[in-house]
Structure 1
Amino acid sequence: MSNLAAQRLAPTQSLRDKALEILRQAIVTGQIAPGELYSATALAKELGVSVSPVREAMLTLVNEGALEAVRNRGFRIPEFTEQDLAEVFDLRLLLEVPSMGRLAGMDLDDAQAELERLVVATEDTVHDATEFLARDRDFHLYLLALRGNARLVDIVRVLRDQTRLYGLGPGANRQLRVEAAREHRELVEKILHGDAAGAEDVMRRHLEHIQQDWYGGTPTATRQGA
């Protein structure tokens, strides 16, 4: 967790919100690791703030299922099983696939430059698993934000963060990240060309590839005999 010291909280930001942002990112990128115990006091010292906002942020993560409290000891990442992984991807398929189809029917002229920047950011970070995961998260949450539904973004963000609790696994393989970045570009092209069915197909394949190839899970369609 030594990298957290470089992310000291700016005084103009809500300390609790910024602490929450940093801790979420640390879970996503593996800086907060499974099997380790973390105290709000120690993390607050690294961030250069009082304990209260850090503890509040950690309790929020407990409510989201990304951390669990261990009585009188601290916080840790909870056990995340293959069944948990399957349930998360079931929900992500239900939410993200049709959302990409709906985006294809929207006027996104003002978003094209930012979409290109985010796609390039994932392409440029395929050599670094930690950086790629952060940019991948930015890309997908921005796409969902274009729908204008803040609750959708919040739900999927929590689901994505829970997915990372299963560990990176084969996702550390550079070629898998190259393929994921390629699918990002294909997805944006389908959306901007108004191809709703194509956008949904790419998003479905993308999620199934992540579930199966990155995490070793069984895609929903296969489990259901589709």
Structure 2
Amino acid sequence: MTVSDSSPASTPTTRLRPVSLREQAREALRARIVLGQIEPGEVCSVISLAEELGVSVTPVREAVMDLANRGMVEVIRNRGFRVPQLGEHDLDEIFHLRTLLEAPAMADVVRVLDGAPVPRFRRLAEEITAAAREGDLPVFLDKDRQFHLGLLELLGNGRLVVMVAQLRDQARMQGLRKLAERGELTQSGEEHIALVDAIEAGDGERAVELMRGHLAHSRGIWAGRAEPGS
């Protein structure tokens, strides 16, 4: 007897996987590093971090190894880990590479979408702006990451997404809180809305220009200063 294609026996089962403690620990540690809440060069204890997060040592140790493989931390045998020092030259390199990768990619995004509305990205842009206005930095970073990597995912180039994600992780944004307190972070959020407008209008040249300017502005945020003319 042949089982038809519509039979339950031949239907693949999709199972949802809960977020593991390892992933939660990794994202919590990533946020602390990017926000500059862990001082570069400071030796951190895996045991102490596990106690702070309320989990066992194992998922934290695994999370640290994940981030070490991405260049975000350095593992110190029998002591823990530390965040490597980044100088202005390092941040300039990250900014330059992100500009080379992300700015021209916006023209491809516009071509792929062909003027179609992107409500998901408009919603993210509005959430980024609201978080900036309210000074909610963890939400700001999370939504900003979803926005930028999500746009690149539309191109179907996994390597591009991974490369940009790694570059984002290597930057430090110690200046976020200071700019948020001065009300200067809101402009960064509004730049996302302008980019969505250009994408939906099918204006690839404008989208490239906006992304290039947005990344230049972000470079200032990394250093805790507003860019000239912003």
Q: CA deviation at 1:172?
A: 4.2
If the length of structure 2 is used for normalisation, what is the TM-score?
0.78
Q: Does 1:98 align with 2:104?
A: yes
Unaligned runs of 5+ in 1: 1-10, 220-226
Q: Does 1:50 align with 2:77?
A: no
1:121 counterpart letter in structure 2: E
Q: CA deviation at 1:69?
A: 2.0
Pick closer, same or farther for the CA change 1:173–1:151 going to 2, 3 Å.
farther
* 2:46 matched residue in structure 1: 40
Alignment counterpart, residue 128 of structure 1, candidates 135, 151, 156: 135
**Cα displacement string for residues 1-53 of structure 1 (whole angstroms, at most 9, x for unaligned residues):** xxxxxxxxxx9433333322222223223443435332222222333433222
Alignment counterpart, residue 161 of structure 1, candidates 166, 169, 175: 169
Q: Per the alignment, in what secondary structure is the counterpart of residue 65 of structure 1?
A: coil
If the length of structure 1 is used for normalisation, what is the TM-score?
0.79
Pick closer, same or farther for the CA change 1:27–1:212 going to 2, 3 Å.
closer
Equivalenced residue count is 207
Is the contact made by 2:44 and 2:81 (CA closer than 8 Å) also made in structure 1? Answer: yes
Pick closer, same or farther for the CA change 1:174–1:74 going to 2, 3 Å.
same
Q: Does 1:62 align with 2:49?
A: no
Pick closer, same or farther for the CA change 1:114–1:33 going to 2, 3 Å.
farther
2:143 counterpart letter in structure 1: R
Partners in 2 of 1:37 and 1:55 — Cα distance? Answer: 14
Is the contact made by 1:58 and 1:67 (CA closer than 8 Å) also made in structure 2? Answer: yes
* 1:77 matched residue in structure 2: 83
Q: Does 1:186 align with 2:194?
A: yes
Unaligned runs of 5+ in 2: 1-16
**Cα displacement string for residues 62-97 of structure 1 (whole angstroms, at most 9, x for unaligned residues):** 121211123432112110011100111111011100
Aligned structure 1 segments of 4 or more residues deviating by more than 4 angstroms: 108-111
Is the contact made by 1:16 and 1:53 (CA closer than 8 Å) also made in structure 2? Answer: yes
Alignment counterpart, residue 209 of structure 1, candidates 188, 199, 217: 217
* 2:9 matched residue in structure 1: none
Alignment counterpart, residue 86 of structure 1, candidates 92, 95, 105: 92
Q: CA deviation at 1:163?
A: 1.1
Q: CA deviation at 1:174?
A: 4.0
Pick closer, same or farther for the CA change 1:147–1:32 going to 2, 3 Å.
farther
Pick closer, same or farther for the CA change 1:16–1:216 going to 2, 3 Å.
closer
Pick closer, same or farther for the CA change 1:175–1:42 going to 2, 3 Å.
same
Pick closer, same or farther for the CA change 1:201–1:74 going to 2, 3 Å.
same
The structure where helix makes up a greater share of residues is: 1
Q: CA deviation at 1:128?
A: 0.6
Alignment counterpart, residue 119 of structure 2, candidates 104, 113, 127: 113
* 1:151 matched residue in structure 2: 159
Max radius of gyration: which structure?
2
Q: Per the alignment, in what secondary structure is the counterpart of residue 176 of structure 1?
A: coil
Is the contact made by 1:190 and 1:199 (CA closer than 8 Å) also made in structure 2? Answer: yes
